[in-house]
Every structure is written in structure tokens, then in C-alpha cells.
Structure 1
Amino acid sequence: MCNNPAFEFTQIRDLTKIFLEKSIELRDAWSTIIGSDEIGHVDALSWLSRMTLDVIGKAGFNYDFQSLQGEPNELNVAFSEAFRHGVGNMSLPVILKMFFPILRIFPETDKVLRQAQTTIFKIGKQLLADAKATLSVEAKDSKDILSLLVRSNMSQVLAPDQRMSDDQVLAQVPTFLVAGHESTGTATAWAFLALCENIDAQDKLRNELLSVSTDTPSMDQLNALPYLDAVVKEALRLYAPVFETSRVALKDDVIPLDEPFTDKHGVVYRELRIKKGQELGIPIIALNRDKKLWGEDALVFRPERWEDLPDAVSGIPGIVNHLMTFIGGPTACIGWRFALVEMKALLFILVRSFEFELAVPRDEVLIKQGFPIHRPFVKSSGRHDLPLLLRPVVA
């Protein structure tokens, strides 16, 4: 795929500065909420969602949503309206059909979504035109994902039949917005919840982060922090933001089984025969929490498990250390490096700066089933939310 170069480590290394800048902006906003008080109350899920939207805007398209600043702009409003009216609970293909007339005609009654579609399509075309305009000798340093995608797509070494049309390139805008915004913000919120439940892990992580002498570490410095790495992976294992996905068989095939199973009719299966066109469900969260693979404490947040993984885990074909959170193989999530480093940047800045705990009893916070993203949900408020109490870390 011609968009793979935009997600290689070299490019993510360059984007780390944006991750940190927006994390610091979020930290400063939370510090303002605390003010002269000793404690502050924030809806972490909402703030993290705004931060990751700003990041994907700058890193993805060189577009400033200004979401953290609360400044309205056309694309921000359109995207928010689309999610508010149900897009957040739909699959990515449905979202793409919603945004692009070539894929689907909107019902006349759905004016809000049609207006959002029109705005996103209009601004998307302008972003694409701007990205093409940067392909001059003077602008070869443009590092946003869309510019890199356009540059790769126009490469002379790419065969004509492998090039994407403008419509196909434009379709990446909502793809990146959804995949790079909601999933990462939600995953980081779950990491905060896990650290609230395990204060020892929170303190251990903070001590490691405070040992770094700069507020703006490089990607390599972030990746060199072993406990931060373990916390991120453990949060992604236990609270994968996408619980399940599916794939469609392109041909008749046979899937071998590690262990035979018996169905309700008493028939024993040692392999699964699938037909072309059949849809196969992939239970990401079930694999990530399977006690046969991860041990009896599979449902416990324990970052230390990553120091010595069980042998059974080695058979999981995930693209990141045997995690199925990003799937695996040729259809794995190409943005996994982006997500990991962005999460690390967020935790680095915020955990260094604040001690935090849940502002409601733990049993108030539920995993609200949605598709594709599963977000924290507070029973008493009836909202997707993660209410936290913050205290500034005293140097």
C-alpha cells in the first residue's frame, strides 16, 4: 500500500514533537482547571478525545482543529456533529459511505449528516490540493501523513495501476480521523482507569518518567522506558478499544485448530472449512484476556507480566508483541506505531505532572458496548465519561 511509508518509524520519529506539544497543551489546560486549589476534576475521556483530534489534524493533514482551545472551526464542528449523530457507533465502511456521495446517497431527512458530509468533503478536497501543492523542491520536508501519502502516490517508481485516484486518497481523511482519533483517545483513557485501580503501578511509572531530565523526549527516549512500554501494552491488552473485528474470505480455505472443539450437536472439529465470501469474526478481547494464554491473572492489570511473557503467548500472531489489539498479518493496523508513541507521549507528560484517582466509585464505570469503539461509561451520569480527580505532582 502506498500509504505505508507515512507510518514507518522514521516518520513517527518526526511526528513525536507534535504528540508532545499537544500533550503539554493538555497538561496546561488541566493545570488551569486546578488553579490555586489542591485538586481538580476533569472528564479525562473528553479531554483526551480533543487532544487526539488535534494530533491527527496536525500530524495527519497539517490542519489545526484547535479542539483543546475550544475554538470552533468548520471541520471540527462537522466531525463533532457526525459523531454526535451516530457515526461513532458505526463501522468504518459505513462512515466512508456516509462522507462520500460516490459511495452512498444520503436520505433527504438526515440534514445534519448531509451537512457534515458536505463540509468534510469540501475541506478534504482543499487539504488534498494543499498537500499536492507542497510537492515542490522547497517543501520536501512536509511530514504530515497526507503529504507523505500524496508524495508516495505520485512517485515515478509506482506503476500507474497501483496509484490511488483522488477520490481514493480523499477517502483516507475520514479513515485517519476515525482510526487515529477515537481509538487512541479511548485507549489512553482506559490506561488512566487501569492506573487509578493500581496506585503502585501509577507511582512506579511516575518515578520512571521523572528520571528523564526533559519534558520533550525523542521517540527513541520514550521507547527506551521499559515500564512505560509495559503499561501501554498491558492497557492495550486488557482494554483494547476495539473488541472485535472481521475479515471476509477471498477463497475457499481450511483453518487448522490448535485444539479440537465439540459443537452442541456433538460433532468434533479439528479444522474449520470456510467458503469464499464468508465473514469470519476475530474476537480481539477474548484472545487478549484468555487465561489459557495469559495465565490465571489475565483479567488483572499487571504491567510486570511483559517482563516474562508465558510461552503460550508466543503463538499469537499480533503485530505488536503477540497482542491482537492491532491484528496481524498483511491487514494489520498500519497506524500501530503512531498509536503507541502517541499514547506514550500522553502518559509521559500527564503522569509526570499529576497524581490522579477516579472521581466516582469504580463500579460506576462500565465498558459501554459500541461499534467499533468501546468507551468508558458512567452509570450515574448516563454518559461516556472518565471523571478523574487530579493533584499536581510536587517537585
Structure 2
Amino acid sequence: MAFLLPLLFIGAFVAYKVLPILLEPFLTPLRRIPGPPNASWLWGNLKEIREGSEPGGTTRKYLEKYGHVARYKLFLSSDRLLTTDAKALNHVLTHSAEYQKPDHTRAFLLRIFGEGLLFAEGSIFLIREVACLTSLKGKYTGGRCTYSVLKFIRELTANPAFGPAQIREFTDIFFQKSIQLRDLWITKTDAASADGDVARINVLSGLTNMTLDVIGIAGFGYEFNALNPSEKPNPLGQAMTEVLSSGTQPSVIGLVQSFVPILRFIKAAIITSSKQGGIDLSKRDVEGRDLLTLLIKANMASDIPENQRLSDEEVIAQIPTFFIAGHETTAGAVTWCLFALSQDKIRQQKLREELLSVSTDTPTMDELMSLPYLDNVLRETLRRHPPVTNSVRQATKDDFIPLSKPYTDIYGQVHDSIQVKAGDRINIPILAVNCSKEMWGGNADDFIPERWENPPECVSDIPGVWGHVLSFLGGPRACIGYRFSLVEFKVIVFTLLRAFEFDLAVPSSDIIKKANIVTRPIVKTGRDACMVNISSFFGQHMAY
């Protein structure tokens, strides 16, 4: 009989863990919300979602069919809430302590990025170690709560590093690398012209190398030389490109281990300079051109308690986040912009004429921001082609999510709020909001920059941190580097559209969207993304 006790214990433990999962579909209030029929008891609607025409496209169809409040099924028939209601989304995004990333999402981010800003969750306040051990059930690292990292890093970087003043300094770097890319493509177009042809160039590849160089300098004071064909490829740069272009998700945090000597060097230089100068470093003294130096200097400030400082490992863990925020997203956004303009020569010419009206190749950030049609093209690109099409939050407590207009459940009852229980998951449908026909009209799928000259009044309710779109999310967890990305985007488009005319080298139907961290264009017949014909007009009078 003694051998039965361990089996009974194991059985009880399994039942304790598994039964709540099996019973969840019968207990959640989300089961009363309209949605598609359950395709599989095990996988729910996952197959249909994965086989959608584009990332985020299937959930968008659910909302169009079932209304502004809907639900669908995932693993073991668990329900996930969908809504495009602006008031509901604002509630979820602004109450970030009550609506956090689910454990499986955080585990995915931890595996790829380490314990960086994307991984950090929880209270927006710094939490003492004792709070971690008692109320957060031991979710801490190195004796100090990882949940404090979110607030701490945002305090150190958000205002000084990503504010207008610092971005204004980065503008020179944006132009330097954009012009270098332009000149490389001019060399290719000249060679093609000599053969009576136009150049066929993998635009995404070139933009990825360019933005990698930018984030290397602006983020870490480090030159990758990704755009310099005469240089030996940088190992870390190559590894990052492989990770971001592959279909797998290996750890990015492992790749940055080669950055450790650079980190140590910067930190040692800061310590030496402060000692030699007899400086008592404080947060007010934090200056520096690159983001990593800024973070290290701020972390070493004498007015930050020792138990609230980041370890070297936690500082290193922020590097992959800076990589993605300042590198891959911008390269993808500019590629989608050129993809859209290549199919609309009239709008491409309209934008080029505005850009050519500027008398210099390197305008100031303020001059760049004053170009209205460039701004409209940027907004329309990020509306129609957001880098990330969906995000997920999980309720940490029972709640009623308010609505701007009621919905009717499957029993015919009308509700002016959505009831959720602790553990329920909410899909933030970025693409569905950005392209909602109810908000944007019947042409919501079309690329029309002119719509921003008089946007629908209702889109002002979208709780995004920028531009009446949800591309950078909103609330405390909104993208802190959005200004960096916006100015870099404008610099790249300004430089390239003044020099080249863009045309697709393959039928547009051959280009599809695939999500691997961010949404990328992929050619069906191969892995070369968004091949584009380019004719050079640099230094010439524009003529068609």
C-alpha cells in the first residue's frame, strides 16, 4: 500500500494543476461573448488563425463578423477576448498592473531577449526586495525584484534618451547612414544602367544593414560596418540578422555576450573619468550620445540606492530590446512604405516632389517634421502595416471592462461592460483597430496618405501613444522609442525617395506578410524579401 501514496500525491497534484485548465472554458464569463465555432477541442481556432492571409488578419475578420466585442478559442478550448472598442482598450492598456503579459508570452520574451524591458512587468513603482519575496511569490532575480526593472529603466532612459533633444542629436547619424545606403544603391543602379537595365535590389536587406549601423552607433557607440562591403562582416551583426530573418526564435540575449567587453570598457571609462575629476555622479549629470552609456552612467549615479541598481547582467539584458526597437521595426516599416509607393506612382511622385523642394540633403529634424505629405505617408504606413499586429494581456483580478457602446451576448442580453475573471486573456488587435472599416471607412485597406488631411473624428479615441493608431500601443507599456523610430523613418524615406524611383521586381501577389518578432515581407518563391527595381534619379531633373 505504501507505493500508492506517491501515486495518489502525483495524481492529486496533476488534478490540481490540470482541472482548472479543463474547467476554464465552462467557468469564464467570456464564454457568453459571440465568436467563431470551436474548430478543435485541443487547438481551438489556432489553425485558422495561422493560415490567415496576413498576421492579425483572421482575428480582424472575427471582429468584422461578430462585432466590436468577440472571442475565439485557443489551446484546450480556452477563450480569448477580442475588442476594438476604444474605451475598453484604453482601460486595459492604462491599467498595466492589472493587465499584464501572460506567463507564456513572458517566457517567450525571456528566452529570446533575456530579462529586459520587454520582459519586465507589474507595478509601475520600484519594489523593495521584501515585497518580491512576500507578495510576488519569489519572482525575482539576483535577490532583487525583476518587476522593478520596468520603472527603473524607463526613468533612466525614457526622458533623456528618447526625448526630442536627444533624437535631434541622433538625426545626424540617421542621415549619415541613409546617405551611405543611397550611395551604395547608386553604384548598383549605375552599373545596371551601363547594361541598359535597372537595378534589382533586396530593399529589406539593405535597410536592415543600415538600421543596424544606426542602432550600433546611437545605441552603443559601436560601429558594425554592416553597410561597408569592403569590411569583414561583424559577427554580432551577422548573428542578429540571422535571428531576425529566420523562422526560429533562438536567444538574442545569448548573442550579445560578445558585447560584454564593450560594456565593461564603457563602464570602466566612466568610473575612471569620474574618479579623476573628483565627480560625485548623480542622475542630473547623466549625459551621453548613445543609449547604453546613458543607461550605465545613470545606473552608477550616487543618488540611486545600491539595492535599486541594475546588475551588469540586467544592463546587458536591455541591449536586445534596443536592437529590436531601433533596428528591425524601422527597416520593416520603410520597406512596407516603399512597397506601397511602388504600386502607386502618382503618390510616389507627389511625395518625391515635396522632398525635392527642400534645398539640402540633410535638413534639420524640425525641417523634416514640417513636411506634411511625408508625415501623412508615415502615418498611413504605420496604420496599414504595423510592425506588430497583435499583443496580449492577462487579467490579474476579476474586473468589468467599460465599453463606449454596448454589445449583445449569445443569449441576447445587452451589456455595457465586459466581465472578465482573473486569468482571462485579452487580445489587443492592433491591425484590426488600425484598419477598422467602422472607424476608417470602406477604404480602410487602401493605402491613402491623404486620409490624414481630415481623419475621421472617431479615431481620436484610439488609445495609442502616437498618431491616432495603435502601432506603438498606449499606456505605461507603450513603446518608449517611438520618436526615435519616427524620425529615422522620415530621414530614410527623405534620402531614398529624392534619389530613386521604386518599382516592384516581382508581382505584388507574390509578396506576403510573415510575423517573426515583427511583420516582414516575404517573397513566396524564396526568402528574398521585397525585391524592388530601382532607377536612379540622384542629381538629375525628375522626368517620367
TM-score bracket relative to the smaller structure: 0.7 to 0.9
Instruction: Give 5+ residue unaligned stretches, structure 1.
Output: 101-116
Task: Give the alignment of 1:317-332 within 5 angstroms.
Answer: 317-332=463-478
In 2, are the aligned partners of 1:254 and 1:272 still within 8 Å (CA)? Answer: yes
1:227 aligns with 2:362: no
State the match for 2:256 in structure 1.
120
1:209 aligns with 2:355: yes
Identity %: 45
State the match for 1:108 in structure 2.
none
Q: Deviations over 1:140-188 (max 9, x none)?
A: 7631111111222223343445432221111011111123222111111
1:285 aligns with 2:431: yes
Task: Give the alignment of 1:1-395 within 5 angstroms.
Answer: 1=154, 2-4=156-158, 5-36=160-191, 37=193, 39-70=198-229, 71-83=232-244, 86-87=247-248, 90=249, 98-100=251-253, 117=254, 119-121=255-257, 123-135=258-270, 136=273, 142-264=288-410, 266-368=412-514, 370-379=515-524, 381-393=525-537, 394-395=540-541
In 2, are the aligned partners of 1:79 and 1:120 still within 8 Å (CA)? Answer: no
In 1, are the aligned partners of 2:256 and 2:316 still within 8 Å (CA)? Answer: no
AA paired with 2:201?
Answer: V
SS state at 1:3 partner: helix
Q: Deviations over 1:45-64 (max 9, x none)?
A: 11111111111111111111
SS state at 1:68 partner: coil
SS state at 2:518 partner: coil
Q: CA deviation at 1:229?
A: 0.9
Q: CA deviation at 1:342?
A: 0.6
Q: Aligned equivalents of 1:69 and 1:317: distance in 2?
A: 41
Q: Which has the larger radius of gyration?
A: 2
Deviates more, 1:358-367 or 1:319-328: 358-367
Q: Aligned residues, how many? A: 367
Q: CA deviation at 1:279?
A: 3.2
In 1, are the aligned partners of 2:287 and 2:294 still within 8 Å (CA)? Answer: no
Q: 1:304 to 1:125 in 2, by over 3 A?
A: same
Q: Aligned equivalents of 1:53 and 1:162: distance in 2?
A: 31
AA paired with 1:58?
Answer: I
Q: CA deviation at 1:215?
A: 0.9
Cα RMSD over matched residues?
2.2
AA paired with 1:132?
Answer: K
TM-score, normalisation: structure 2: 0.64
Q: 1:162 to 1:140 in 2, by over 3 A?
A: closer
Q: 1:251 to 1:186 in 2, by over 3 A?
A: same
Q: 1:250 to 1:376 in 2, by over 3 A?
A: same
In 1, are the aligned partners of 2:244 and 2:516 still within 8 Å (CA)? Answer: no
Q: Deviations over 1:83-107 (max 9, x none)?
A: 45545xx4xxxx6xx345xxxxxxx
Q: 1:77 to 1:196 in 2, by over 3 A?
A: closer
In 2, are the aligned partners of 1:367 and 1:374 still within 8 Å (CA)? Answer: yes
AA paired with 1:320?
Answer: W
Q: CA deviation at 1:310?
A: 0.7
Q: CA deviation at 1:382?
A: 2.6
Q: Aligned equivalents of 1:286 and 1:48: distance in 2?
A: 27
Q: CA deviation at 1:280?
A: 2.1
Q: 1:169 to 1:305 in 2, by over 3 A?
A: same
